[in-house]
Amino acid sequence: MANHLTLEERDRIAQLRCQGADQKEIAQAVGRCPSTISRELRRNRTDGEYYAAQAQREAERRRQERPLVRKMEDPEMNEAVRAGLAHEWAPEQIEGRMQQQGSERRISSQTIYTWIKQDEDREHWESMLRRRGKRPYRRKNPATTGDAARIDQRPEVIEQRLRLGDFEGDTVLGPAGTGGLATLVDRKSRFTIVVKIQSKNADHVHEKIKQRSKELDEQRCRSITFDNGTEFARCHRLEKHLGLELYFADPGCPYQRGTNENTNGLIRQYFPKGTDFRDISHYEVRQVEELLNNRPRACLGFRTPAEVFFEKNPPSDCDWAIG
């Protein structure tokens, strides 16, 4: 819910109008959006003129007459929003998920943000909101990939995200010697596989990725496009072991695997830079994987990656945020 104009702001609007300022100039002077000024002048003029005191009385009268529904005071809505935030969903994702399901119980992301700012546990809820920055690219030594194909040889069906099972692969690493994660992200559904690795050893990374890839059926594991890091130098064996199509991005071009780069940024929310992965259990890694795969995405029409990847329909009501 946006903050209402104050009497002082309305007085300033009236003064500027008398001086011949247009709506854009008034908006800049008052520090409001031009649309706010336009709406104010349209609603609160009297006989074509704008008077601050009269405009204030008109605005207060309308607020008193309007049946005000404080959505976060509704117990079920409050519980649903809290549960969504507890799953580390952004307010936009909570709003979009309710719209996607056609629920009668809806709330705007702005209302959620306003509630967070006013709630006595504000710091608790703010800690669950995503804080992301650009991931700086660090040049890696190119991998020795044998006869594996380059990214420009990928067929159109992969480029256009037309089918499930085409993954992008990379790593999320801790300080030297502390291990990290191997990550695979499906280009179409954004379904994510996160595997704990003890080191960047190419044979070790290949074995870990092979073990997890074998859990998927052929229709959901067709190809992988890897980064050029040396940790993937043995992954071309996956073509022989699992019948996968393997592609490697060009050196120094992380944007060619943008889906994976974006997902690794989300993973850093849980495992910030400097994390010693020797202290992280496989169970904790799986928990993060489940959180990511059950978070609604705007690019998926607010379905979750798991729903799209396994072609399941979402729940029909708001129990999504509580169960």
* Residue partners of 7: CB distance under 8 A and separation at least 6: 52, 53, 56
pLDDT reading at 322 higher than 50: no
Tokens coding 54: 């009269």
* pLDDT mean over 81-89: 87
* pLDDT mean over 226-247: 82
To the nearest whole number, what is the mean pLDDT of the chain? 84
Percent of the chain exceeding pLDDT 90 equals 35
Per-residue pLDDT of 250-294, as tens digits, reads: 887 888 888 999 999 999 999 999 999 999 999 999 999 999 999
Name the residue type at position 217.
D
The whole-number pLDDT of residue 137 equals 47
More confident residue, 166 or 254: 166
Per-residue pLDDT of 28-53, as tens digits, reads: 998 888 888 988 998 888 888 899 88
The whole-number pLDDT of residue 146 equals 54
Of these ranges, 107-116, 123-132, 295-304, the one predicted with the greatest mean pLDDT is 295-304
* pLDDT mean over 165-175: 92
pLDDT reading at 72 higher than 90: no
Percent of the chain exceeding pLDDT 70 equals 88
Counts for the chain of helices (H) and strands (E), in that order? 14, 6
What 3-state DSSP class applies to 31? coil
Give CA–CA dist 239/223, Å, rounded: 9
The whole-number pLDDT of residue 3 equals 66
